[in-house]
Amino acid sequence: MVQAEYKEYCATVGHDPLHIQGAGGNASWKEGDTLWVKASGKWLADATKEEIFLPIDLAELTSHIETGNFEIKPVILKKTELRPSIETILHAVMPQKYVLHTHPVQALAYLVTKEGKADIATRLGDKVAWTYVPYRKPGPDLGKAIYKAIHQQPQKNITVVFLENHGVVISANKLDKLIALNEFLTKELSRDISADLLNARSIQENKHNFSGYHLLDNPIAMAFVHDEKRIEIAKKYWALYPDHVVFLGEKARLFLNQDDCKKAFEHEGNLGDYAIVENYGLLIKDKLPQNKIDMLICYISVCVRLDLSKHISPLSIENIGELLNWDAEKYRSSISK
């Protein structure tokens, strides 16, 4: 059964931190008048272990969309406590059967820069039918922007939508096409992490004991904390895309060295969820939810792939405010694991 195969593929992508972090991203397929879409807060990685998809009345959604109304409360066709993904509208506006929305590290390294669209054009040209949508708050606003972008050029039959400061939507009527498209984009947009960056670290001795915290054992994290320029990015441009802000807040917890970090630890009694300590490492609170650890790793994975000759373009204060004061995101954050 194709749906079973799609769920398997969703689980595979969901387990790949270069594509999906925690409960982020979502997937759907259309079956007649029903849109099967991931439930909010559920993990794509669990697609084969539990029922993470909800049936939605697609005909009803489409009737609203066609009249220009995107502020829709989707009708769920079964009794459930779960809510459909915040990004359900995005799935409904794409005409293809299979739709996959991810937050891929490789693409994000372009999408958070001012030159992102032009650089993607250089890399992809016309090899796939793609379009680029400026940043919009996830939900109805983003759904509307995607709808407009693909309907402005119907003859192009868009199958890839790049979302500025956010991620990628890919779609196809056949599952093997969708998988091939995802692999193609990953390959075309891939940027290697420079060997200099990975080799530049000199491990500092552990001067202090931060009880209740441990160092993240990850070579990318070690490269990141030992690179002055990347640390500078975290200092200046922490809020690069929505999920990062929703789960890790609007400012980085950064320290210049272990001594400063220790002072804060003694003064406040803890370091919050994590602390980035320059030239030392990334301290993580013991038992920090996996969702947040995934978000941290995603951020540093994007940072180490950024072309530093480009201009980084973070979310604005207004963008951040509308994410942090949004009930739908508070719900998603509250049920995260």
Residues that bind Zn ion (CB under 5 A): 167
C-beta closer to Zn ion: residue 88 or 96: 88
CB 169 → Zn ion: shortest distance, Å?
9
C-beta closer to Zn ion: residue 104 or 167: 167
- Residue type for position 34: T
Backbone φ and ψ of 182, nearest 5°: -65, -45
Distance of CA 126 to the CA centre of its chain: 25
CA distances from 318 to 19, 133, 242, 287, 314 (A): 27, 18, 12, 32, 11
CB 81 → Zn ion: shortest distance, Å?
23
C-beta closer to Zn ion: residue 20 or 221: 20
Q: In this chain, which residue has its C-beta nearest to Zn ion?
A: 167
CB 166 → Zn ion: shortest distance, Å?
6
Is residue 204 within 8 Å of residue 258, measured between CB atoms?
yes
CB 138 → Zn ion: shortest distance, Å?
6
CB 108 → Zn ion: shortest distance, Å?
11
C-beta closer to Zn ion: residue 134 or 219: 134
CB 72 → Zn ion: shortest distance, Å?
18
DSSP string, 87-139: THHHHHHS-SSEEEEE--HHHHHHHTBTTHHHHHHHHHTTSS-EEEE----TT
C-beta closer to Zn ion: residue 19 or 285: 19
C-beta closer to Zn ion: residue 227 or 243: 243
Q: Which of 276, 155, 145 is nearest to 210 (CA)?
A: 276
C-beta closer to Zn ion: residue 221 or 246: 246
CA distances from 255 to 179, 207, 221, 295, 304 (A): 41, 15, 15, 19, 19
Q: How many CB atoms neighbour CB 330 within 10 A? A: 11
Is residue 54 within 8 Å of residue 39, measured between CB atoms?
yes
Is residue 96 within 8 Å of residue 171, measured between CB atoms?
yes
The CB-side HSE value for 185 (13 A sphere, CA atoms) comes to: 31
CB 87 → Zn ion: shortest distance, Å?
6
